[in-house]
A = this chain, B = another copy of it.
Amino acid sequence: MKAVAIVSGGMDSVTLAHWLKAQGYALHLVSFDYGQRHRRELECAAWQAEHLGAAHTVIDISGIRPLLKGSALTDDLAVPHGHYAEESMRLTVVPNRNAIMLSIAWGLACSSEADALACGVHAGDHFIYPDCRPEFIKELGQALLTGTVGHRREGLSLIAPFVDKSKTDIAAIGGELGVDFTHTWTCYEGGNMHCGKCGACTERKEAFRDSGVADPTVYEESA
């Protein structure tokens, strides 16, 4: 069995890759370079791929950057600080980002004759990000199957094993699987260390704290 997995280099997708390996999949990790400010995550994805003995492909989709307005990840906007502020979190949304990445990765899964395409969407993002919800994954998975009849391995499917898990659940799973979270990246600020203050860092800290898994991150605020 072979799985293509979208791995950003964050703790969720890196845990996903370890989980897939534990399920017996041969792994091909895919990361996307879309001009994101937090490019350190791509280095983490590469480190994890090597550690897992997985193929790793970085796909440059930075061509979409100038088209997408209102995204703090790619535009020259201030990154919002704080926690659970819906409007602030919205600024970090690249419109339709998951459909774009999943469609490209699905094409790779077709041409590489994979049995599964996996992504690490999780329940903690359902409120803000509609493209992280189970109904979206189900509907997109069906459309992708229909659109590639005869051009893929017949049993290929889109899976999202963590879609009903919280980030805390995922940290716990990663802890059990022995994930080295030192080589995962969460912060949106683009610095050399995790800032410890942005919404993403806040959620990272909480996931470690609430799961009881040791947090190896050195945060800038306490460095």
**Which A residues between 102 and 131 are near B, CB-CB below 8 angstroms?**
102-104, 106-108, 110-112, 130-131
A149 adjacent to chain B (CB < 8 Å): yes
Which residues of chain A from 140 to 172 have any CB-CB distance to chain B below 8 Å in the complex?
Answer: 140, 142-144, 146-152
Contact of A136 among B98, B130, B143 (CB under 8 A): B143
Provide the residues of chain B in CB contact with A90, threshold 8 Å.
Answer: 151
Interface segment among A13-21, A39-47, A64-72: the answer is A64-72
Complex Cα–Cα for A135 and B20 (A): 31
Q: Is A63 an interface residue (CB 8 A)?
A: yes
Q: Nearest B residue to A135 by beta-carbon distance?
A: B146
Contact indicator A70/B100 (Cβ below 8 Å) = no
On whether the beta carbons of A103 and B100 are closer than 8 Å, the reply is: yes
Known: A100-B104, A110-B96. A143 touches B146 (CB 8 A): no
Cα separation A149 to B143 with both chains bound (whole Å): 18
> Taking the nearest CB of chain B, how far is it from the CB of A60, in angstroms?
3
User: Are A103 and B96 touching (Cβ within 8 A)?
Assistant: yes
Contacts of A107 in B (CB 8 A): 64, 67-68, 94-97, 99-100
Closest CB-CB distance, A195 to chain B, in whole Å? Answer: 26
Chain B residues within 8 Å of A144, by CB: 96, 99
Residues of A within 8 A of B (CB): 33, 57, 59-64, 67-70, 90, 93-100, 102-104, 106-108, 110-112, 130-131, 133, 135-136, 139-140, 142-144, 146-152
Give 8 closest A-B pairs by Cβ, nearest first: A60-B63, A96-B107, A139-B143, A131-B147, A95-B110, A140-B143, A99-B103, A95-B107
